[in-house]
Amino acid sequence: MATQQETTEARQHSGVGFVQTKLATLFVPPHWLKLAGGGELGPIQVAYETYGELTPAKDNAIFICHALTGDAHAAGYYEDDDEKAKPGWWDDLIGPGRTLDTDKYFVICANVLGGCQGTTGPGSINSETNQPYRLNFPFITVGDIVEVHSALTRHLGIEQLLAVIGGSLGGMQVLEWAARFPKQLRSAICLASAAQLSAQGIAFNAVGRRAIKTDPEYKDGEYEAGAGPRYGLALARMIAHITYLSDQSIEMKFGRRLQDHDTFTYEMLPEVEFQVESYLHYQGKRFVERFDANSYLYLTRAMDYFDLESQYGSLTNALGKTDARFLIASYDSDWLFTTTQSKEILRALIECGKHVSFIELKSPFGHDSFLIEIEQLQNMITPFLEQAYQSQLIESAQKT
């Protein structure tokens, strides 16, 4: 068995090694963030991490947009991580020689507005009242989230990003970014995402929110930090988790296998008979430890509201202003964000003559595939980024 010291040393030297979360304070009044739903917000603290070095020309920055419950910790370890801690959520993709090669690129990942992992959200203290915002936090949209991230990149001195990349809600941010700040990105990678959430997706979000709100501990959002609707939030996560899997992946992973017995117990009280139940309970429990119920309500609503077409008149209007190169990918077993939805984006981009590549990847893992099938992403994203970077270098050489 590896000693604690051996583990620590191995972590220091693998991937991006040890990382730290940084904080930036943006939209300091009177420069409030004007919100899509009306009202203003400021100051806004943003938690972010960076990996690799920014070139003097500031032309190698890649921004990662995380999915619904993700955070800024995309790669590496924290120095005080215990032995069992996992690295950042996209660690396999980020690091020296990896797809988002930190020897070449400067990679940024930030927690979203309304989140609960360092960026201002409903759990943050409102400086005017010295109380947590809770449900006094203003309504936020994907557009507002992107406004904050765009401001963060400018705060870091970056005029234009080499790429913005994300899956699921992260992919929605990528599309919004292309629509809202068309000049700010050179390429856009949108994985397992859509220009609008399907009615089915809204339905599942609604059930999750109901689970949270009907938990007696929710207390109309006025729960104390550390307390809150644990059962409701776990239930919301269990439901959502099912939508991230596929029929095939559940079957492969658990089948109808039982958890603690070889035969049925014929008892109603224990909640866990099948392995799949045990797994969902575990996912729910772990989620409660790291996520805030009010943030979950705000972010799922932001996702429900996202609709690029209605917001900009049409998809071609939304995506027609950018010269970014696009890479769109869907997964054949993803029923939450389907290939048909990715193809709507593709059609619009072809219609306005954009540089767009598309692929439907084969994977049994459903919507979660973009977090699991790293090799597929590697094969496609590595050459795509390389080309985007080369074309940028050629262009800037021509200018000088």
Q: Closest separation between CB of residue 362 and another protein, Å? A: 9
Residue nearer to another protein on the CB measure, 72 or 348: 348
If the CB atoms of residues 244 and 358 are measured against another protein, the closer one turns out to be 358
Catalytic residue among 334, 342, 363, 369: 334
CB of 377 vs another protein, minimal distance in Å: 11
> Which lies closer to another protein via its Cβ, residue 190 or residue 234?
190
* 367 in catalytic set: yes
Residues that bind another protein (CB under 8 A): 325, 327, 343, 346-347, 350-351, 353, 355-360, 379-380, 383-384, 386-387, 390-391
- Least distance to another protein, CB of residue 354, Å: 8
**What is the Cα–Cα distance from 169 to 149, expressed in whole angstroms?**
14
Look at the block and give the residue holding tokens 């954009």. 354
User: Are 146 and 170 in contact, with CB atoms under 8 Å apart?
Assistant: no
Q: Least CB distance from residue 384 to another protein, whole Å?
A: 5
User: What is the C-alpha to C-alpha distance for residues 385 and 161, in angstroms, rounded to an integer?
Assistant: 12
Q: Which one, 197 or 356, has the nearer CB to another protein?
A: 356
Of 66, 73, 149, 367, which is the active-site residue?
367
Taking the C-alpha atoms of residue 76 and residue 64, their distance in angstroms, rounded to an integer, is 15
Query: In the complex with another protein, which residue's Cβ is closer, 99 or 300?
Result: 99
Does 368 count as an annotated binding residue? yes
Selecting among 168, 249, 330, 342, the annotated active-site residue is 168
Give the β-pairing of 40-41 and 33-34: antiparallel
Amino acid at residue number 171? G
Smallest CA-to-CA distance from 235 within 284, 295, 289 is with 284
Q: How far is the CB of 380 from another protein (least distance, A)?
A: 6
In this structure, are residues 336 and 244 in contact, taking their beta carbons and an 8 Å threshold? yes
Check if 168 is active-site.
yes
Residue 45 pairs with which residues in a beta bridge?
25
Nearer to another protein, 9 or 395 (CB): 395
Query: Least distance (Å) from another protein to the CB of residue 394?
Result: 10
What residues act catalytically?
Answer: 168, 334, 367
Known binding residues for substrate are 237, 368
Binding residues: 237, 368
